Structure 1
Amino acid sequence: MEPLTIGILAGGVFAGLSGASLAALKGWNGWLELKRMELTHDIGDRHLPPAGNRIEMADLRERVRKLEAIAAGIDL
């Protein structure tokens, strides 16, 4: 084989490996960012009750408000 052909093949292989490495690195960084987001999202939700409980609490508060209004003699 000629030296020019070997150089062209080596350059092509190097370019291909570089592109694949960059794509893999970008994918890895994206995966890490996803995991960071999941972890911070979980931490933020730990202080809040589940959605069903929040809806039930809102219903109970509304009922208490109506009962207090009835007890005070206010017509809704």
Structure 2
Amino acid sequence: MSQELLIAATALSGLLVVAITLLKGWQDWLELKSRELETGHGKREIEGGAREGAARIEIADLKERIRKLEAIASGVDL
């Protein structure tokens, strides 16, 4: 009986250590995100990179459209 109690107490203390560690990590992560929002970092950098990528795609699309229009214009007598 005492051996089973010792195993249960050890398992419970181990679970407690893991739970406390996860809670501390969660609180630190929330604090980090809060600081990022206050300073304006984080999301703006990601959006800026996405805007640059979208702009490049749009420019490539426009260049392709110009090529197609030039091909049509060169094949048509005006």
TM-score with structure 1 setting the length: 0.53
Alpha-carbon separation, structure 1, partners of 2:34 and 2:14: 30
Q: Matches of residues 41-56 of structure 1 in structure 2 within 5 Å?
A: 41-45=36-40, 50=44, 52=48
Task: Decide which of 20, 32, 45 is 1:25's aligned counterpart.
Answer: 20
Paired-residue identity, %: 16
1:36-72 superposed Cα distances (whole Å, 9 cap, x missing partner):
00001110008xxx555xxxxxxxxxxxxxxxxxxxx
**Once the 2 structures are TM-superposed, how far is the Cα of residue 18 of structure 1 from its aligned partner?**
0.3
Task: Provide structure 1 residue ranges, at least 5 long, that are not aligned to the other structure.
Answer: 1-5, 53-76
Q: Matches of residues 1-76 of structure 1 in structure 2 within 5 Å?
A: 6-45=1-40, 50=44, 52=48
Alpha-carbon separation, structure 2, partners of 1:41 and 1:12: 44
Name the amino acid aligned to 1:10: L
**Once the 2 structures are TM-superposed, how far is the Cα of residue 30 of structure 1 from its aligned partner?**
0.2
Higher alpha-carbon Rg: 1
The size of the alignment, in residue pairs, is 44
**Once the 2 structures are TM-superposed, how far is the Cα of residue 11 of structure 1 from its aligned partner?**
0.4
